[in-house]
Amino acid sequence: MALPPDAPRTHYVAPWRIDITVRRGVPRVVAATALARLAASALTTAGAPAPASLALILTNDAEIEPLNVEHMDHEGPTDVLSFPLLPPSAFPGHPGKAAASETGRPIEPTFRPPRRQRTHLGDIVISVERAIEQAPESPAQELRQLVVHGVLHVCGWDHADPVERDAMRSLERAIMGET
């Protein structure tokens, strides 16, 4: 029995399960297997608790816009939204992390996944339409960057603080092999 066109496709990149849904009519600018490997690399680099799963939904502006209004209180479409299910304390400390200790020492993760059970880390929704519009000369590169950016948000990274923003951008470039 064939899956519907927008059913999630599961990709295992040990110890991660990446479920990728491509909505009907959304251009496929990067192979799903390549996006799954990239997401897995970002999860590993960010120190996500393993084994775990992550959902990646590739959609358009029409679907992401109401999510942006509801969850971010911003009008109009955006390129990527992340919906983490674990607190930032579930991930290793990093420069600028809001939960950093007063002493400046790295914070050890307090979340411990149940043994032999896959933890769902969260969902990432990306507008491929936005990626194409933002980088018409290289939509595939833009989509890859948005996947990494979304994964880092799921893993407790933010860019409100300048120190954390700079560290996050540096880590994104390293994950994508640009450093």
Q: Residue 99 CB: number of other CB atoms within 10 A?
A: 12
Least confident stretch, 46-50, 102-106, 154-158: 102-106
- What is the per-residue pLDDT for 5? 64
Domain with 89 in it: 9-98+105-175
Residue 4, in any domain of the structure: no
Buried b vs exposed e over 31-46: b needs ≥16 C-beta within 10 Å? ebeebbebbbbbbebb
Count structural domains, the chain.
1
**pLDDT at 100 exceeding the cut of 80:** no
Q: What is the pTM of this model?
A: 0.88
Residue 130, in any domain of the structure: yes
**pLDDT at 60 exceeding the cut of 70:** yes
Q: What is the CATH number of the domain that holds 157?
A: 3.40.390.30
Average pLDDT, the chain: 89
- What is the per-residue pLDDT for 98? 64
Average pLDDT over residues 101-130: 72
Q: Which residues pair with 16 in a beta bridge?
A: 13, 52
Using a 10 angstrom Cβ sphere, with 0-12 exposed, 13-18 middle and 19 or more buried, the burial of residue 4 is exposed
